[in-house]
Structure 1
Amino acid sequence: MVDLPPATRLAGPVDTATYGEYRVPDTPGPLLRFTGRITGDGEFTPGPQRYHVYGGWFCPWSHRVAITRSLAGLDDVVSMSYVDGERDGRGWAFREQYGPDPVNGFTFLRQAYEAGEEGFEAHVSVPALWDRVHARLVSNDSHTIGIDLATRFRHLATPLVDTYPAHLRDRIEELDRWLGPTVNHGTGAATTGTGPARAALLEAFEQLDDRLSRTRYLLGDALTEADIRLWVTLVRYDVGANAARAINPGLHVYPHLWSYARDLYTIPAFRDTTDFATFSHPGATLPDWSAPADR
């Protein structure tokens, strides 16, 4: 860790007049440039306090990882900190609200990316998994970060919930192939008129509502990564993409889906990693997430 006074490890205010708006770079190669995995015998092996997650309270993909980390019992094994919720052309930064980078003293998250790729010019995103041993990023792929946190540290921590059990992994990924494009990525597109994205999203909600009328979680009685992946979109729906009720009257029109979402919110790993203020549109009406779920 860089030994600098906290005040010198904070970025200045967002300055779009000088640096412009952040744009996802149109550079060759994959959007997710770092795709390392934690394994038992590879370059990145599990160890206590070896890894750190750089996240963003506003980001659903970071939210997934934060929930999994907590359910896996890793709060004291894998550390996590948060970038500021606003950015300019320089990308995500560490500012006063969430404090300095506790691992490296970076002022901008881009510096973590540059540690692994000199002159890095691709997309700087959260979540990003940092390895203290090699002093570089392991991955910025939320999908595999979540899986690795759920499965690779059980000799170091007792999970509260096994969110990626071996016998359900194929079904979890099968659901993701449906809900990923239709719901997680489809809500934004669904706000524009009555096109196919909106129809597909509402049809998915109807199917989920029917499914959840017969089972507590997506895959029966087991809370899994499938529920985490869906929930981070549901919790943002009525204060984000559907804040103006441009898609439908609200999540409440699907009573079983809405009750399921509130039921998950009662779990500390979900509730304590949620800050509505960081992702709600201005003027959005927050539904009553504390209403009894009756499940």
Structure 2
Amino acid sequence: MPGTSFLGSPLLLSPPSATAKPLRHQPTIKMSLNPNPIAAITKLLWGQSLPPNLLISTARSAWSSAWHLMMSQLAQSDPTGGYTRPASQFRRTTADPSLSRRNLHLYVGLPCPWAHRTLIVRALKGLEESIPVSIAAPGSDGSWEFRNSSIPDRNKDILVPSLDKANGCKTLKQVYNLRRGGYNGRSTVPMLWDADQKEVVCNESYDIIELFNSGLNVISSNPGLDLSPPPLKKKMDEWNQIIYPNINNGVYRCGFAQSQEAYDSAVNELFNTLDMVDEHLGSSRYLCGDALTLADVCLFTTLVRFDVVYNVLFKCTKKKLIEYQNLHGYMKDIYQIPKVAATCNLGAIMDGYYKMLFPLNPSSIRPTIPSGCEHEMLCKPHNRESLPWVERDVDALVS
């Protein structure tokens, strides 16, 4: 009768001879019909028990070596195993009035919090018509690629991955390579592209949101909105110097840590800073008072990802964001600003992390969205508009 070998191919067993004497006390071995040959041979050798200690320790050692190798390619680290973020290669720190006359195109990826900043400021400033966007999605190898996506009508306003609307490329790397002289560096989002000159204008998120805020008012439908007013510039810079290393990049320093020492340092700095910011927001609607600024936008894109990704996948487990009364209400406050929620595709965000960061989640299984992070919950009243504003010195808060 046909059976299955451990290689998965048919195995023909000869019928017993009529003259053959039956063997007594012969154990019967039933071949598994499991199509997985590894599972079949493991069950044959060890039954329901774990493999011998030597095999487990060998597998652990091999996986640890492979993990460190993959992590070294995914995330650069210092000698202590701490994550170090590479600098952006295309910066724009000076004003250029001619940019408003260029044919600009924005490239983003929905999982990326740095790209999310640019989408929010683009929407709030009313630049959607003036600066079209192409939305890349993570490919199976981790690179950014373009594809058509469809969503249910009830979510028709939310942003989804798209084709490359400016160049018709299949991947973001191909777009970067269109520039004069080509390109051999990291193909990152966000990236602002000059479609006429075939050149990268900028791929540093903060430079882009500053440009969107004040450098393109002549093509903006909401030029009166200023997210970086001169009187608040100093205070914004102070908050950015606290939030970027400890929270924005702090969650990555936790998730990409390659040693216990590096993780412990990063997680303590992260939650000490979250505690401090939560206390500050108990008497201030936004970071710099009662007006939304670019500093708030930068903090928001990390906070909206915290409970759905960073708390679980990046081991930021000391507290969930929903446990911070002020921070969570603050996040909901910004989420409910018109046009912001449409930039927050939590399904795409979770897919980008859980399904693509293989060294952190080898199974690629994406957990369900926490109930407190669903759209309906984020739209519930936050009651922050009535907060009295108490002037505070940022340096005093840190100390």
Task: Give the TM-score normalised by the residue count of structure 1.
Answer: 0.83
Cα separation, 1, equivalents of 2:112 and 2:75: 19
- Larger helix fraction of residues: 2
Q: Is the 8 A contact 1:25 1:121 kept in 2?
A: no
In the alignment, which residue of structure 2 is the partner of 1:291?
380
Cα separation, 2, equivalents of 1:188 and 1:133: 36
After superposition, the C-alpha distances for 1:95-120 in whole angstroms (9 at most, x for unaligned) are 22233211111111112211225342
- 2:176 paired with 1:113: yes
Secondary structure of the corresponding residue to residue 177 of structure 2: helix
Shift of 1:21: 11
In the alignment, which residue of structure 1 is the partner of 2:147?
95
Shift of 1:177: 1.0
After superposition, the C-alpha distances for 1:23-68 in whole angstroms (9 at most, x for unaligned) are 5699xxx742222457345xx5213x72110001111011000001
Q: Is the 8 A contact 2:100 2:218 kept in 1?
A: no
Shift of 1:248: 2.2
Assess, with a 3 A threshold, how the Cα gap between structure 1 residues 23 and 189 changes in structure 2: closer, same or farther.
Answer: closer
Cα separation, 2, equivalents of 1:116 and 1:38: 21
Assess, with a 3 A threshold, how the Cα gap between structure 1 residues 115 and 38 changes in structure 2: closer, same or farther.
Answer: farther
- 2:95 paired with 1:39: yes
After superposition, the C-alpha distances for 1:157-209 in whole angstroms (9 at most, x for unaligned) are 22363111222222212211111010001113335767121111111111111
- 2:196 paired with 1:133: yes
Secondary structure of the corresponding residue to residue 241 of structure 1: helix
Structure of greater Rg: 2
In the alignment, which residue of structure 2 is the partner of 1:205?
274
Cα separation, 2, equivalents of 1:246 and 1:135: 41
Secondary structure of the corresponding residue to residue 83 of structure 1: strand
Assess, with a 3 A threshold, how the Cα gap between structure 1 residues 24 and 130 changes in structure 2: closer, same or farther.
Answer: farther
Cα separation, 1, equivalents of 2:346 and 2:72: 23
Q: Partner letter of residue 95 of structure 1? A: R
In the alignment, which residue of structure 1 is the partner of 2:251?
187
Shift of 1:80: 1.0
Higher relative contact order (CA 8 A, sep 6+): 1
In the alignment, which residue of structure 1 is the partner of 2:329?
259
Cα separation, 1, equivalents of 2:139 and 2:106: 19
Q: Partner letter of residue 202 of structure 1? A: F
Assess, with a 3 A threshold, how the Cα gap between structure 1 residues 21 and 226 changes in structure 2: closer, same or farther.
Answer: closer
Cα separation, 1, equivalents of 2:71 and 2:311: 25
Shift of 1:133: 2.8
Assess, with a 3 A threshold, how the Cα gap between structure 1 residues 237 and 260 changes in structure 2: closer, same or farther.
Answer: same
Shift of 1:246: 5.0
Cα separation, 2, equivalents of 1:179 and 1:104: 36
> What are structure 1's unaligned runs of at least 5 residues?
1-19
Q: Partner letter of residue 276 of structure 1? A: L
Assess, with a 3 A threshold, how the Cα gap between structure 1 residues 189 and 32 changes in structure 2: closer, same or farther.
Answer: closer
- Give the RMSD, CA atoms, in angstroms: 2.6
Secondary structure of the corresponding residue to residue 116 of structure 1: coil
**Size of the alignment, in residue pairs?**
269
In the alignment, which residue of structure 2 is the partner of 1:151?
214
Assess, with a 3 A threshold, how the Cα gap between structure 1 residues 104 and 37 changes in structure 2: closer, same or farther.
Answer: farther
**Which consecutive aligned stretches of 4+ in structure 1 deviate over 6 angstroms post-superposition?**
none
Cα separation, 2, equivalents of 1:216 and 1:160: 21
In the alignment, which residue of structure 2 is the partner of 1:16?
none
Q: Is the 8 A contact 1:252 1:258 kept in 2?
A: yes
Secondary structure of the corresponding residue to residue 82 of structure 1: strand
> What are structure 2's unaligned runs of at least 5 residues?
1-69, 77-85, 150-160, 355-365, 385-399
Q: Is the 8 A contact 1:182 1:204 kept in 2?
A: yes
Cα separation, 1, equivalents of 2:72 and 2:169: 19
Assess, with a 3 A threshold, how the Cα gap between structure 1 residues 32 and 117 changes in structure 2: closer, same or farther.
Answer: farther
Assess, with a 3 A threshold, how the Cα gap between structure 1 residues 260 and 33 changes in structure 2: closer, same or farther.
Answer: same
Task: Give the TM-score normalised by the residue count of structure 2.
Answer: 0.62
Cα separation, 1, equivalents of 2:72 and 2:273: 32
Q: Is the 8 A contact 2:109 2:144 kept in 1?
A: no
Assess, with a 3 A threshold, how the Cα gap between structure 1 residues 190 and 23 changes in structure 2: closer, same or farther.
Answer: closer
Assess, with a 3 A threshold, how the Cα gap between structure 1 residues 223 and 75 changes in structure 2: closer, same or farther.
Answer: same
- 2:114 paired with 1:61: yes
Secondary structure of the corresponding residue to residue 84 of structure 1: strand
